[in-house]
Structure 1
Amino acid sequence: MKDWYQVLGLLHTAENEVIKAAYKALAQKYHPDRHPEKKALYTEIMAELNQAHAMLSNARKRKEFDAAWKKFTDKHQKAEEPKPQPAPAQPSPPPKPANKHDTVLSHLASNKI
């Protein structure tokens, strides 16, 4: 699902005036007439900006999008949450030193010598 707020570089809490200003600034920057060397690319960008503006500047469409977005993100967040790992039955014992040298070092580290 496309996040129309992200297309305009906005937070989902953006006010109508902020949406309008962001659209206007981006439309001026990415208008195809300003980029004749890459007109096809900028036409696609402009179409996406127009869709975002049309969706978010209409109160009814924005409300519908916000509800659909919440449902979409809730569904995907639940799917991505890791399942809790079961606790071990008994705590693991500390590793045993491999040789006498390791034993001395482990005692030094624990301030037992």
Structure 2
Amino acid sequence: MELNDASAALSALGHMTRLSVFRQLVEAGPSGRTPGQIAEALALPGATLSFHLKELSAAGLIGAEAQGRSICYRADFAAMNGLIEFLTRNCCGADADRCVADAAAGPGTRAPGLKA
């Protein structure tokens, strides 16, 4: 992923509703969710959800597949992982020992020397 794609993805995820929709799709895994399931889970009107799904799709973060008369939306896990890789590329001068927090220490743990 390069700067333009990362910027589009981050812009799409920078809206609270789109971030919630994307998290719903990540949670669903490869099976995805229908618009009805997403709308119900997030209490969103259909037109609002449709707008946000279109934005996430345009940013390359989700895909859709027709299933009969229905559409199933899925998170694009390759795009998500590409964004994470882009954000962490060359972290701390590519010295992972300097900046990767110990996962066993729990959430919010900072690597030594990093300020809050």
Point out the structure with max Rg over C-alpha.
Answer: 1
- Higher strand residue share: 2
- Higher helix residue share: 1
Tell me the TM-score range normalised by the shorter chain: 0.3 to 0.5
- TM-score for both structures, normalised by structure 1: 0.35
